[in-house]
């Protein structure tokens, strides 16, 4: 099988990260999530903490739109450590990984960054609120339903704004993805089965 990349965008509490980890074990390929922050820090020399502060978030109520165009900003520029350039370096790392190996990448607008790569399966994982609340309780230990709902709404809002800011697209638009999977209905294992089958079919048809 040729090198491939699976990108996973996910609603908070949908289990998208867990599904990515399960896929990684099933397919025997590497899994990248917050590792991308460290790699981007190493690539740029910018403090890793700065990447963490803007990780899948856009600063301000009305953040300046900075749709990704593929460049990085030079170190002598004032905006070198700004949100746009932090994204640019993460995108650079994502592109390098895609060229080097088969892998699974969670979040960070990877579906958009790799929109011109042919061997990519772009997945969006979502679930109904009750399943998200259960998953947040199980994984994050947030047992109060109101608190969990507030957390889910806040993080999904941040991710949507981040995606819109850097891609100019709507995060939940199905046209951005090859597969949109309801993990609440399907369960994690079946989501893994569907994605694994889809990547095989897609590569056979290239």
| CATH number for the domain harbouring residue 179 | 3.40.50.300
205 lies in a domain? no
46 lies in a domain? yes
pTM of the model: 0.89
Read off the pLDDT of residues 8-58 as tens digits, 9 standing for 90 and up.
Answer: 999 999 999 999 999 999 999 999 998 988 998 888 888 888 878 877 776
Compute CA distances 23 → 52, 100, 135, 199, whole Å: 25, 19, 18, 11
pLDDT reported for residue 65: 66
158 lies in a domain? yes
Read off the pLDDT of residues 48-103 as tens digits, 9 standing for 90 and up.
Answer: 888 788 777 766 544 556 788 777 776 767 678 788 888 999 999 999 999 999 99
101 lies in a domain? yes
Which residue bears the tokens 């002598």?
Answer: 76
pLDDT reported for residue 51: 79
113 lies in a domain? yes
206 lies in a domain? no
Three-state secondary structure string covering 75-110: CCCHHHHCHHHHHHHHHHHHHHHHHHCCEEEECCCH
Q: Name the nearest CA neighbour of 101 among 19, 32, 204.
A: 32
Q: Using CA atoms, how far apart are residues 82 and 78, in angstroms rounded to an integer?
A: 8
Domain extent, residue 11, equals: 5-200
69 lies in a domain? yes
Phi, psi for residue 36 in degrees, rounded to 5: -60, -30
**Total number of domains constituting the chain:** 1
């Amino acid at each position: 099988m040729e090198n491939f990349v699976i990108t996973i965008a996910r609603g908070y509490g949908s289990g998208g990260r867990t599904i990515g980890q399960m896929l990684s074990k099933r397919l025997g390929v590497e899994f990248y999530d917050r590792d991308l922050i460290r790699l981007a820090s190493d690539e740029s020399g910018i403090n890793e903490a700065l990447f963490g502060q803007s990780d899948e978030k856009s600063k301000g109520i009305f953040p300046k739109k900075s749709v990704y165009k593929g460049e990085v900003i030079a170190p002598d520029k004032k905006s070198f450590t700004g949100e746009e350039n932090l994204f640019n370096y993460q995108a650079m790392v994502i592109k390098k990984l895609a060229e080097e190996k088969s892998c699974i990448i969670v979040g960070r607008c990877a579906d958009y960054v790799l929109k011109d790569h042919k061997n990519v399966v772009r997945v969006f994982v979502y679930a109904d609120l009750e399943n998200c609340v259960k998953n947040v309780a199980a994984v994050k230990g947030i047992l109060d339903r109101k608190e969990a709902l507030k957390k889910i709404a806040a993080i999904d809002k941040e991710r949507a704004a981040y995606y819109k800011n850097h891609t100019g697209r709507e995060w939940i638009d199905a046209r951005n993805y090859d597969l949109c999977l309801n993990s609440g209905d399907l369960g994690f294992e079946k989501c893994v089965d569907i994605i694994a089958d889809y990547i095989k079919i897609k590569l056979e048809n290239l």
